[in-house]
Amino acid sequence: MTPLIPSVRLGRKLGIGELYFKYEGGNPTGSYKDRIAAMGLSWALGQGRGACIGTSSGNAGAAIAAYAARAGMPYHLFVLENVAEAKLAQSLLYKANVRKIKGFGNDPEIGMRVFDRIFEGAADHGWEVMITAFRYNPYAMEGVKTIAYEIYEELKGMPSHVYSPAGGGGLYCGIWKGFNEIYESVRTAAAPCMVAVQPEGCSNIVRAYQAGSKEPLPGSSTSQISGLQVPNPPDGKLALQIMNRGGGKGIAVSDSLIWETQRLLAVEEGIFCEPAGAASVAGLIRDCEENPGRSLDKVVCVISGNGFKDGKRLSDMTSEIHVPCLDVEHLDI
């Protein structure tokens, strides 16, 4: 039950009837990954697993480490070489067994080799694989669809469009799954158009959608947006199936637009999110610019994590702001 926050300024400026932000930073460890971790650890305990093992660009590791600590289950975690330090610190705090992998997050071949090694190790030891993708753990990923159920309950109906950040594609696919289930059960308004937003420097799904491909296109990641640096998206094929069946589309935006949108959300809406969370709104802004006459009447942007997840970005945004320190005698009010 994370907040669904109505826009006070951006929606009006963009000419949108109703704009809402689904703020997943309100979850216990600060991102939507808590939904997956809660389901995944419950499943692992039910299966009698002795430990769990997986990869993360940061948020999944923090969430799974927290729930593993609560469950009393060891967690073996392999992270990107340049993982955001604040996210890494969360995993370390919960006593996860963490290792960085050189080139992981940039080179798709290294990513596939890491996945292969994890499955081999899990099979050898009887551990649960906790990679947050439908391709690798569909049971844990069932937690994502609850975002759609909450949006539907709060709005008392379907939104017209939902914009979601997309790294590996699991968030996008999970939310679509939830709305599709609602539509099939109640047969009210049609499920929303789902828009996946990726950074241009790691847009393997979006480029494939634009090219009419059924598989994510190859290519290394050059993006600096933590959480969206997934050059071999595990659920990319599933996301493309959704788009190609008419369930949505993909948009790529620059890192600079994502960073600017992160600042804009803080200034205009009072919402502090990590850059990956701002990607959905950046995609909406670009969509409005490229299609000025388009009708967007009830839009939800999924804000995937809170701003304290990326301390470096916070420092960058505030480093030039001077805060004077005054003697009380000079205090002017």
Q: Where are the domains of the chain?
A: 4-30+141-318, 33-137
pLDDT at 161: 97
CB 81 within 8 Å of CB 105: yes
CA distances (Å), origin 165, targets 87, 267, 292: 18, 21, 22
Contact assessment for residue 24 and residue 146, using Cβ atoms and an 8 Å cutoff? no
Say if residues 159 and 300 touch (Cβ distance below 8 Å): yes
CATH number of 4-30+141-318: 3.40.50.1100
pLDDT score, position 333: 79
Expressed in angstroms, the distance from the first to the final Cα of the chain is 41
What is the CA 81 to chain-centroid distance, rounded?
A: 19
Q: What pLDDT was estimated at residue 295?
A: 73
Q: Which pLDDT belongs to residue 230?
A: 94
Write out the H or E segment, with its range, that includes residue 299.
strand 298-303
**Structure tokens belonging to residue 298:** 């009830």
- Paired tokens of 83: 């993982």
Q: Answer whether 4-30+141-318 and 33-137 agree in fold.
A: yes
Residue 12: the pLDDT is 95
- Report the topology of domain 33-137: Rossmann fold (3.40.50)
Contact 55, 78 (CB under 8 A): yes
Residue found under tokens 């890192």: 255
Quick one: pLDDT at residue 187?
A: 74
Collect the ranges in the chain with pLDDT lower than 70: none
